[in-house]
Amino acid sequence: MNGTGTFDMGMLLSILEDVYMRYQDPKIERHGRKKGIQHWRIRPFVPTLVDGKLERRQKPIILGYCHEMTLEQAKKKKAEVMQTVNAGRIVVQSQAPFKLLLEKYRVGRLPLLGAATQKKYEIYLKRIEEAFGESKILEIDKAAVQIWLNSLREKLSPASLADAKNCLSAVFNQAREWKMWDGESPTKGVKIGRSSEKRKKRILQPEELMKFLASIHDTKILPAQKVRLMVEVAIAGAMRVSEVLGLQGQDVNPQGSLMVSRRWHRGDVSATKSDASECERFVGTRLAKELAALGTGEQWLFARPDCGEPPDDRDLQQHVLRPAAETAGCYFPGFGMHTFKRMSVTLRQRAGQSVLEVMKMAGHTSAQTTLRYTITDHDREQQVIDRVFGMFSEQAHNQTTKKAN
């Protein structure tokens, strides 16, 4: 601490330079209850800042859990950890207050993220600071993170718990880049649990889609015609709602394609979610010509009539999409603009496109993501099974006939 009561990293580093670090090779211990979860640990002596003085104190360091790591793996982990300890870098990660790391992250990393991620992380960083703000970085281990996430289970959905975990992981990953942390993230291996009621994913059938489109009416948010075009664009281009709202006149090629290069999310303009998302999407000449008539240059194609800017996706969902779906009798939990991206991915594969082709069109970074979007058509699956067993039965019948002859 300096005279102002704040942590002085420079002072800590200067003290470290004056400290003689002896080479250590502590033995690996198996620790924990015999009938409970046990872990591998070492207990080296590390420099510890106490009342402005640097003292050598023994500190237990967990290498991993015995049911997840063999002794040989623990030895390799120990070598990595002790390289850090013997180099003296353990002081930085041990003594820096976690609040200091959060302050650096808010200033040095958060502004570089997309607008949507920034807003989301700002919320979770407050929760993280409430839980760990008074701790030192070394005190935040896997058990502490697990206890924290468990305490939030009654307040947050599994998806939000995953976001909170990812946010904390991002902070520790950045700390590693800044040389404030040498270990793995304490979020690694932490469980967030699953919802007892898993939301069933589905898409609209063609007749449901027609009823839905017919149920859309003019609102102060957007005219019905623009909302219908938004839905068509999302299906034709396999696009996220933020990508659709981010379209401008200059992005339209009347020959039949759109250039997706930005997102609009609740008033913020940012780059696409990933490099893979920034690409040309073919939507057909008829739809492209209708879109070209909505605006030119930097004019937003789906601007609200009252302000000239795209609407908030939450207003669109609450006042336009959900009421229309309820009127059409096709609303289900999870219904929204993302339903149409999922619909596009599914229908494209049914139409014969390969997973890799759909992955490229949808702006996904992996085929696994594309497969998660794909909804199984049970009627089609039944037809396939009938054909397979039909072929089998026919072959079996032919074999029986041959033997009889």
Kindly report the average pLDDT of the chain as a whole number.
81
Query: pLDDT at position 124, please?
Result: 94
Q: Is it the case that residue 215 has pLDDT exceeding 60?
A: yes
Q: By C-alpha distance, which of 98, 126, 117 is closest to 163?
A: 117
Q: Please report how the helices 98-108 and 158-177 are oriented relative to each other, as an axis angle in degrees rounded to 10.
A: 90
Q: Which of 85-94, 153-162, 226-235, 258-267 is predicted least confidently?
A: 85-94
Q: Within a 10 A sphere around the Cβ of 24, how many other Cβ atoms?
A: 13
Q: What angle do CA 395, 400, 404 make, to 5 degrees?
A: 150
| Higher local confidence (pLDDT), 28 or 23 | 28
Total residue length of the chain: 405
- Pick 265 or 292 by higher pLDDT: 292
% of the chain beyond a pLDDT of 90: 36
The predicted model gives 91-97 an average pLDDT of: 60
pLDDT band at residue 371 under the 50/70/90 scheme: low
- Amino acid identity of 309? E
pLDDT band per the 50, 70, 90 thresholds, residue 194 = low
DSSP assigned state of 88:
T
The pLDDT assigned to 333 comes to 85
Question: Which amino acid, 342?
Answer: R
Q: Which residue has the higher pLDDT, 290 or 277?
A: 290
The answer to whether residues 15 and 4 touch, using CB atoms and an 8 Å cutoff, is no
In the numeric block, which tokens belong to residue 43? Answer: 């207990």
Per-residue model confidence (pLDDT) at position 46:
76
Return the CA Rg of the chain.
28
Q: How confident is the model at residue 115 (pLDDT cuts 50, 70, 90)?
A: confident
Query: Among 84-88, 115-119, 188-192, 274-278, which range has the highest average pLDDT?
Result: 188-192
> pLDDT for 121-151, tens place per residue?
999 999 999 999 988 887 888 889 999 999 9
Q: Report residue 210's pLDDT band, with 50, 70 and 90 as the boundaries.
A: very high
Q: What is the mean pLDDT of residues 94-115?
A: 85
pLDDT at 397: 47
116 by Cβ neighbours in 10 Å (0-12 / 13-18 / 19+) ranks as middle
Who wins on pLDDT, 151 or 23?
151
Which of the pair, 129 or 49, is modelled with greater confidence? 129
In angstroms, the CA 294 to CA 244 distance is: 13
- Name residue 159's amino acid: A
In tens, the pLDDT along 159-175 reads 789 899 999 999 999 98
> 16-30, 31-45, 172-186, 210-224: which has the highest mean pLDDT?
210-224
pLDDT at site 331 = 92
Tell me phi and psi for residue 261, to 5 degrees. Answer: -135, 0
How much is the pLDDT for 223?
Answer: 96
Average pLDDT over residues 234-259: 91
The more confident residue out of 194 and 306 is: 306
Instruction: Please tell me the predicted confidence (pLDDT) of residue 15.
Output: 47
Residues 19-33 have a mean pLDDT of: 78
Highest mean pLDDT among 26-30, 50-54, 279-283, 389-393: 26-30
| pLDDT of amino acid 18 | 45
Q: Is residue 156 pLDDT above 90, yes or no?
A: no
User: Residue range 184-197: average pLDDT?
Assistant: 76
- Kindly report, residue by residue over 50-92, the tens digit of the pLDDT: 665 667 778 888 888 888 889 999 999 889 888 877 776 555 4
